[in-house]
């Protein structure tokens, strides 16, 4: 059996180690600054092994994004303990862990033929769609419009948090309250007003023992 760097044996876990290394390195230093040599060293596999699992870095980047949050923030939108209005607000409680990887990939990769920008577009459309679906449940008069507004706010907070190196999600949440209350008729709001429940929210893509405004 082939041995990778540091003598670690290549096995069935090699693919997962490569993907784990890509998550760490792409997040910490960016996609373009991360080379296959470094990825292989961190994953402790040989380049031969890496290319047996991925035809190249482009395929690895695409798989990294595909796995990041396949169900589109299930820790927010699939919660049954919150009302629809509370779920809209809970999206802004997700801990700020850096720039959304889909935004980062779209910024770094300019090739329109690369799969990463398409994954980013599909994911961002899916986020707006989930916001709109939840807004419709909450009784919003124009759910698609509110969904797009909240998706834009979430991405703006993610980018601003990265640039300023400070958490801007609380400010975004306050703006979200105004947008939601303006979009949902008073009669549809029920007894829930501006507060967000403090129940924990799972970070998108976090693996259990897996981006914002």
Report the pLDDT value the prediction gives residue 127, as an integer from 0 to 100: 96
Which among 200, 212, 209 is positioned nearest to 176, based on CA atoms? 212
Q: What is the mean pLDDT of the chain?
A: 83
Report the pLDDT value the prediction gives residue 2, as an integer from 0 to 100: 40
Report the pLDDT value the prediction gives residue 186, as an integer from 0 to 100: 76
Report the pLDDT value the prediction gives residue 184, as an integer from 0 to 100: 92
Report the pLDDT value the prediction gives residue 176, as an integer from 0 to 100: 97
Report the pLDDT value the prediction gives residue 205, as an integer from 0 to 100: 39
Report the pLDDT value the prediction gives residue 71, as an integer from 0 to 100: 85
Confidence of residue 99 (pLDDT cuts 50, 70, 90): confident
| Cα–Cα distance measured from residue 82 to residue 89, given in angstroms and rounded to the nearest whole number | 10
The tens digit of pLDDT for each residue in 128-164 reads: 999 999 999 999 999 999 999 999 999 999 999 988 9
Report the pLDDT value the prediction gives residue 27, as an integer from 0 to 100: 87
pLDDT at 102 over 80: yes
The tens digit of pLDDT for each residue in 21-71 reads: 999 999 889 999 999 999 999 999 999 999 999 999 999 998 998 888 888
Alpha carbon distances (Å) from 71 to 74, 82, 197, 207, 212: 6, 18, 22, 12, 16
Report the pLDDT value the prediction gives residue 190, as an integer from 0 to 100: 57
Report the pLDDT value the prediction gives residue 114, as an integer from 0 to 100: 86
pLDDT at 104 over 60: yes
Which among 55, 68, 75 is positioned nearest to 23, based on CA atoms? 68
- Phi, psi angle pair for 9, to nearest 5°: -75, 140
pLDDT at 213 over 60: no
HSE-CB at 202 with a 13 A cutoff on CA atoms is 18
Report the pLDDT value the prediction gives residue 181, as an integer from 0 to 100: 95
pLDDT at 19 over 60: yes
**DSSP state, residue 202:** P
Report the pLDDT value the prediction gives residue 191, as an integer from 0 to 100: 39
């Amino acid at each position: 059996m082939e041995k990778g760097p540091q003598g670690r044996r290549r096995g069935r876990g090699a693919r997962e180690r490569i993907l784990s290394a890509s998550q760490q390195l792409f997040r910490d230093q960016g996609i373009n600054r991360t080379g296959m040599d470094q990825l292989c060293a961190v994953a402790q596999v040989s380049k031969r092994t890496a290319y047996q699992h991925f035809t190249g870095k482009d395929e690895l980047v695409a798989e990294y994004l595909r796995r990041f949050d396949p169900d589109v923030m299930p820790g927010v939108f699939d919660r049954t303990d919150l009302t629809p209005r509370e779920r809209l607000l809970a999206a802004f409680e997700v801990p700020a862990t850096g720039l959304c990887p889909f935004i980062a990939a779209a910024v770094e990769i300019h090739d329109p033929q690369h799969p990463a920008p398409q994954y980013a577009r599909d994911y961002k459309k899916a986020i707006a769609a989930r916001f709109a679906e939840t807004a419709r449940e909450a009784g919003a008069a124009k759910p698609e419009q509110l969904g797009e507004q909240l998706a834009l706010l979430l991405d703006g907070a993610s980018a601003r948090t990265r640039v300023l190196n400070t958490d801007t999600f609380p400010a975004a949440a306050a703006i979200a309250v105004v947008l939601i209350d303006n979009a949902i008729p008073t009669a549809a709001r029920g007894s829930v007003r501006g507060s967000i429940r403090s129940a924990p929210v799972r970070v998108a893509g976090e693996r259990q023992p897996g981006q914002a405004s």
